[in-house]
Amino acid sequence: MTSTLEAARAGDEAAFEELTRPYLRELHVHCYRMLGSFDDAEDLTQETLLSAWRGLARFAERSSLRAWLYRIATNRCLNAIRDGKRRPPPQPVAPFEPPEPNGTVEVPWLQPYPDERLDPASRYQSRETVELAFITALQTLPPRQTAALLLCDVLGYGLAEAAGMLDTSPTALKGVLQRARAAMPGPVPPEPVRADAGQARLARRFASAFEADDVDAVIALLTDDAWLTMPPAPHEYRGLAAIAQFLRIRRRWRGDRPLSLVDTRANGQPAFGCYLPDPDGRVARPTGIVVLTMRGDRIGGITRFLGSRLHRHFGLPDSFDVAERSG
């Protein structure tokens, strides 16, 4: 690496790209875990690379290049949160009068993360550490607690090295880390949950019922305490009766324009691109991403991320001909 590092310090951009390329995916995932937003992770990963490029002459090689990049990325994310750069998107205005929700979304800026951006061979990018429940829990912590938890318990840095990344003492960081662990609802990192054929069949049954607007069939697939959320909208519908009421009202508004779901995966979970036909019924256009949270042989949660551009992160089409897909 020495000759490549020297070349990069001398201003060779290709050498710099060679140095940093092996870490780009995991740095992007780290920024996503810190911020909860794919779009913000894109911005902060680029800021990290720009800062590293400008500061490469100050890289003293007392730590690994990887650790140095994580130091920059973590502090860039902390600065973005402190400076208010992480702002939830504007709340969407529903095209119909929704029923009164019985809960509120904790993290309205949350966005889905495409599985295809993960490297399953890397333990630092394991799917359980990007599951929606874990990412949501991280966003409810004070930012420095989030950083400490990720650096030590997910990425595996020792207390002294992580403290150096955060410009604090190991003793102070130990206290921060203890408070973070105590606030998390489960172990960190989460226990691995492997996808199986049963979950795939359950996801297909959900898609068929959802596309057919068969509310009763959708409800039959859910746990009794299931929930439905639609970030960045603040509404949460918890329990079968509340979810059924919302789905029936939405069905009446859409009339004869059924939604179409296109298979994908997000956050290590079954997911779908969601498409709605134009008023003339000929062309379907994206309205967001639906992510399912599985609970054994039932679905425990439906997160329908609203947004007409989210599909691009997943490589899904901007539109499709309804007749061709139906045929």
Beta strands in 139-282 (DSSP E): 222-229, 235-238, 260-266, 269-277
pLDDT attached to residue 91: 78
Is residue 66 situated within a structural domain?
A: yes
Residues 236 and 305: their CA atoms lie apart, in Å, by: 12
| First-last CA distance in the chain | 55
Is residue 6 situated within a structural domain?
A: yes
Q: How far is CA 137 from CA 9, 140, 158, 282, in A?
A: 39, 5, 23, 41
Strand-pairing partners, residue 261, are 274
Residue where a domain terminates, one of 85, 106, 136: 85
Residues 177 and 147: their CA atoms lie apart, in Å, by: 9
Structural domain span for residue 7: 1-85
Residues 282 and 5: their CA atoms lie apart, in Å, by: 55
CA triple 5-11-12, angle to 5 deg: 70
pLDDT attached to residue 271: 98
Is residue 251 situated within a structural domain?
A: yes
Residue where a domain terminates, one of 31, 58, 85: 85
For the chain, what is the domain count? 2
Is residue 50 situated within a structural domain?
A: yes
Burial 134-151 (b: 16+ CB within 10 A, else e): bbbbbbebebbbbbbbbb
- Closest CA relative to residue 52, chosen from 82, 85, 75: 75
pLDDT attached to residue 305: 97
Report helix, strand or coil for 162.
Answer: helix
Is residue 20 situated within a structural domain?
A: yes
pLDDT attached to residue 258: 85
Residue 228 · residue 241 · CB < 8 Å:
no
201 and 322 together in one domain: yes
Task: Report cis status (omega within 30 of 0) of the bond before 189.
Answer: yes
Residue 133 · residue 106 · CB < 8 Å:
no
pLDDT along the chain (327 residues), means of 10: 86 94 95 96 97 91 91 97 78 82 93 90 72 95 97 96 96 97 90 78 97 96 97 96 95 84 95 94 94 95 96 96 80
- Closest CA relative to residue 289, chosen from 320, 258, 323, 312: 312
Give the CATH number of the domain where residue 67 resides: 1.10.1740.10
Give the CATH number of the domain where residue 238 resides: 3.10.450.50
* The length of the chain, given as a count of residues: 327
For residue 65, the Cα-to-chain-centroid distance in whole angstroms is: 26
- Dihedral sign (CA 46, 47, 53, 59): negative
pLDDT attached to residue 83: 87
180: left (phi over 0), alpha (psi -120 to 50) or beta: alpha
Residue 30 · residue 44 · CB < 8 Å:
no
Is residue 57 situated within a structural domain?
A: yes
Tell me the one-letter amino acid at 255.
G
